[in-house]
Each structure stands twice: as structure tokens, then as C-alpha cells.
Amino acid sequence: MDTRILTDLERSAVRSFYLALSTDDRRKRFCSTLSDDAICKYVDGLDFTRHTILGAFEEQAELIGLAELAPGAEESEMAFAVRPDKRRLGIGTALMDGLLARARSCGRKKVLVIFLADNTAMRRLAARAGMLIRTEGGEAYASRELQAIVAAAPESAGRGAAESGERERN
């Protein structure tokens, strides 16, 4: 299984993926039972340059999972869906890891996921990713602050520090 960021050219694959979700999965993914028309409008509105749409693919290049990171200067919402026959195989976790890495590299300070309070799979996925979960009424809010990526110090600087440490000890 591979994950990669999708482009505008793959909009129809995203549309087909969401349209194939059952009524219950649509409710879980969008916190609302979206009609086919509403899903098409939603996918038409995705801006692939501002949203990060991460896809999981199996060997035959078939799309088996999708994760989204919404635009946001500091805080961004994430969302996940895995094809029903491919669940509980770690694909959701791989998409979560990929999206967290992407959010960090884009400089986002905080990510959040909103899901229905009875969505055990999403709750576990969020908890395993170190997110704090708060439940209010029928919805749950998972959030996590992200550490900024600090550029690695040049190797010579590290060696110099170690050397000076050695000198101090001697």
C-alpha cells in the first residue's frame, strides 16, 4: 500500500470513492447523511492546491483510502475514510501519519478532527495519534498541537559542541 497527495486530475476518483460509501459511512465521514448531489458539490468545491488530499492506493493503483487536510493559517481540520473491505489493516493510521507530517511541513500549529461521538474507529485512530478528545453532545472533537519542524544543525556544529564537551570534561 502506498500513500500520495492527489492532484486536480484525480477529482473524479475522489468523487467515485465518496459516492461508493454507504449511508452510514457518509454519516460518519461527513457527520451528516449526504445525498449523491451533495457529495458531488462537495468534491467539486475541493481546491487541490489549498486542501491536501492524501490517497492510499493498493497494488493495482486502486484508491482505497482518502484523508483531507483543510486549509487554515494555523489550525486545520482533518478527515478520513477507508474503503470498508480494507479497514482495520492500518490504512487509517498510515493516512493519519502522512497527514500529520504534511500539516507540520506546512507550518500548521494545530490539527483537529470532528466526528460523531459513537464513532469508535475514529476515536481510536485519534487517540493513537496522541490527540486530546472532548465529547460534546453527539459530536467528538479531537485536537493536537504540532511541534514546528526545526532545521537540523549542521553536523560540524554538533561535533564541535561534543568536542567542547569533551574538553570541559577532560
Q: Does 91 bind ligand COA (CB under 6 A)?
A: yes
- Pick the closest to residue 67 from 139, 77, 115 (CA basis): 77
* Residues between 42 and 81 that touch ligand COA (CB under 6 A): 79-81
Closer CB to ligand COA, 40 or 116, in the complex: 116
Closer CB to ligand COA, 68 or 146, in the complex: 68
Q: Which three cell numbers stand for residue 39?
A: 457529495
Helix (H) or strand (E) holding 101: helix 91-105
Q: Does 29 bind ligand COA (CB under 6 A)?
A: yes
Q: Does 90 bind ligand COA (CB under 6 A)?
A: yes
Using Cβ positions, the residue closest to ligand COA within the complex turns out to be: 92
- If binding means CB under 6 A, how many residues of this protein chain bind ligand COA? 23
Q: Which three cell numbers stand for residue 76?
A: 486545520
If you write DSSP's letter for every residue of 17-56 in order, what string do you get? HHHTS-HHHHHHHHSS---HHHHHHHHHT--TTTSEEEEE
| Interface residue list for ligand COA (CB under 6 A) | 25, 28-29, 79-82, 87-93, 113, 115, 119-122, 124-125, 128
